[in-house]
Chain A
Amino acid sequence: MIGQSIVLAADVPFPPSVEDFYLPSILPWNEHNSYWFTKITALMWVSVAAIIIFFLVTYRKPQLVPTKKQWLAESIYGFVRNNIAVDMLGKRGVNFAPYLTSLFVFILLMNFWAIVPLAQISPNSHIAFPAILAVISYVMFIYVGMKHHGGLKYFKHALIPPAPWFILPLLIPIEFFSTFLVRPFSLAVRLFANMFAGHMLLLVFTLGGFAMLNANVWFAPFSIVSWAMTIALTFLEFLVICLQAYVFTVLTASYVQGALADEH
């Protein structure tokens, strides 16, 4: 087994770099200046298709006593609607539940590719995907706020906290920065960085095992430890995957909540 591993390890690059996130083109196959369709793209479209098909199939003929699949779909939707949307937005949360559920399921599945054997990279480890999701949330909470408070009144509501006038010049720039600049940025970077770091971590421990074996056969026990760590970290990744999907959804709901809040 060790001999086999050494053959495998012969061309293992170590340490892993950012280059490892840029996968070869699939269509056209192995092209070097056309990256319109890579594994990342494929995984994204598979996710989209899987979500659409799953919810269409499970809810095509709804039964009063739900089937297993219907129960699963209803549980997911019910979880986001009751525990995120209604909890944070009250009655109006129901209006946002479909979007929040789509967001949650999409991020969850996109993240989940990070630990699916053979896929083993999440599209969300490229910042483009979290960035677009963050932009959607950003535009949405501003739009919702403007619709609720009426145009510019929303910005007055968002930027001017209840405080005496002489302290306002100090507070308004902070409000502007934290509400309109930090929010989309942190939303995107939090998801991206978690998925990026997770993939990097798994790469380091997997390839590190090979690298040690490559350097000296007597390091084999350490390689085993390294690979055992990979398995342990995969479970940790699963936790991060679910947590980040949840956090993104909750924060989006919380931003909408802030936009809908009336003066207190």
Chain B
Amino acid sequence: MTGQEPPRKPSGDDDQPPPDTGMGMTAVAYLLSGMLVWGAIGWLVDHWVGTSGIFAGIGAVLGVGGGVYLIVRRLGA
């Protein structure tokens, strides 16, 4: 088994290529992570400053923006 030559093409043999190569998961992870990380940081700032949630909201929006940017840079190119 291990001694056998791998197929020439990187796409493997004649079988169908895998439908999902993990890129979808990575994209979702970036989006959620962005929201969670910066939302949480915003929430901490809220606690520190004494506001009731404005920074958590701003943080979540910024985080999603960062997540989208990361998806474009890491997966889009």
5 additional A-B pairs beyond A59-B1, A174-B37, beta carbons within 8 Å, are A86-B6, A88-B21, A173-B38, A174-B70, A250-B18
**Which residues from chain A contact B50 at a C-beta distance below 8 Å?**
none
For chain B, give the interface size range.
35 or more
CB nearest to B33 among chain A residues: A178
Is A10 on the interface with B (CB-CB < 8 A)?
Answer: no
Interface positions of A (Cβ within 8 A of B): 59, 62, 73-74, 77-79, 81-84, 86-88, 90-91, 93-94, 97-98, 161-163, 167, 170-171, 173-175, 177-178, 181-183, 186, 246-247, 250-251, 253-255, 257-258, 264
* Contact (A77, B1) CB under 8 Å given A86-B7, A186-B29: yes
Determine if B37 and A177 form an interchain contact, defined as CB atoms under 8 angstroms apart: yes
* Cα–Cα, bound, A173→B74 (Å): 15
Is B49 on the interface with A (CB-CB < 8 A)?
Answer: no
Report the minimum CB–CB distance from B16 to chain A (whole Å). 8
Report the minimum CB–CB distance from B59 to chain A (whole Å). 10
The 8 Å CB contact of B74, one of A82, A161, A181, is A161
**Which residues from chain B contact A87 at a C-beta distance below 8 Å?**
10-12, 17-18, 21
* Cα–Cα, bound, A173→B42 (Å): 13
